[in-house]
Amino acid sequence: MAIFHEAIIIGGGPAGLTAGIYLMRAGIDALLLEKVILGGAPVNTWHIENYPGFPEGISGRELMERFAAHAKAFNLNIKEFARVEEVSQNGNKFILKTDEDIYEAKGIIVATGTESSKIGIPGEDRFIGRGISYCATCDGMFFKNLEVAVIGGGDAAVEEGLSLANIAKKVYVIHRRDNLRAQKILQERAFKNPKMEFLWNKRPIEFQGKDQIESIVLEDTKTGEHTDLKIDGVFVYVGSRPDVGFLGNLVDKDEAGFILTDENLATKTKGIFVAGDVRKKRLRQVSTAVGDGALAAVELERFILETR
């Protein structure tokens, strides 16, 4: 027997939890399905200092505990460890399949965020969990007083590099260009930090080691010269991609796989709205995910009320 809710939110990060708060306050019967635990990407973020209302900053985990508590205070139905594997349409209902259950809904909000991209070079898969990580907040403490490298030049790389500098003896930042994309305030802090060293115009081409990672082969992007960098750990921040194969052809995507929406976050399928990092947009942050969650919920509410 399928389990019916008027609205189903897929994904329990900032966008999904915000959508849940808005839908419950509007009197819509909503369920949120989350493939792991509530909180989304910020759960693995050491410190967030650009979310309004927290001038001292706040740990990503604590911020998301507050989001979750807020959604629960409005009695949002939540099912964790429920990964949506397939969505289809049957008349005016959507059918959602997880590995355990089948759900039905009048409308859905897709808020599934993105997943860390791999670099895709030899040795990467072999050393994941053996010195290669995509989450400094989760694994940084294993590298106390050791030498690590961060790969990437955006906000996440520099921010997480700074958090690693509190633990590790040395943090190399490896970037294929000669300047960073990260926000200026983060760059200034990183350049001042004596534990951080920038290796410009370098790209990793192979990870080497026996049981654990021991070194990275770097190629100079200008001269083509190869060098070996001895390290104890590597943290990869080279971007992220959505994973929305479960929607089949119900939505249109750009060439990188981000879902296309109109200005009200609707998709080509009536009743499917999209919020947060998973959609094509210019700025992927907690604040923009929250804004999307609110708008998608209000639009879905409107859609449901029209068909009640």
Ligand X SMILES: Cc1cc2nc3c(=O)[nH]c(=O)nc-3n(C[C@H](O)[C@H](O)[C@H](O)COP(=O)(O)OP(=O)(O)OC[C@H]3O[C@@H](n4cnc5c(N)ncnc54)[C@H](O)[C@@H]3O)c2cc1C
Which candidate, 153, 150, 157, 156, places its Cα nearest to that of 179?
153
Our finding on whether 83 is near ligand X (CB under 6 A) is: yes
Stretch 8-47: interaction string toward ligand X, x if CB under 6 A = --xxxxxxx----------------xxxx---xxx--x--
Our finding on whether 159 is near ligand X (CB under 6 A) is: yes
232 is annotated as an active-site residue: no
Q: Which is nearer to ligand X, 123 or 161 (CB)?
A: 161
The strand pair at 226-230 and 213-220 is best described as antiparallel
Cα separation, 216 vs 196, whole angstroms: 17
Please pick, from the candidates 113, 123, 131, 153, the single residue that binds ligand X as defined by CB under 6 A.
Answer: 113
Footprint of ligand X on 203-262 (CB under 6 A): 246
Our finding on whether 185 is near ligand X (CB under 6 A) is: no
Task: Give the HSE-up count for residue 237: Cα atoms under 13 Å, Cβ half-sphere.
Answer: 24
- Among the options 101, 125, 138, 254, which is catalytic? 138
**Smallest separation (angstroms) from ligand X to the CB of 306:** 26
Cβ atoms of 136 and 236 closer than 8 Å: no
Beta strands in 40-143 (DSSP E): 77-79, 84-90, 93-98, 102-110, 115-116, 132-133
C-alpha torsion sign, points 65, 71, 74, 76: negative
Judged by CB under 6 A, the stretch of 73-81, 154-162, 189-197, 198-206 that binds ligand X is 154-162
**Smallest separation (angstroms) from ligand X to the CB of 65:** 13
Our finding on whether 139 is near ligand X (CB under 6 A) is: no
The residues that are catalytic are 135, 138-139
State the residues that interact with ligand X by CB under 6 A.
10-16, 33-36, 40-42, 45, 48, 50-51, 83-84, 111-114, 156, 159-160, 246, 276-277, 284-287, 289
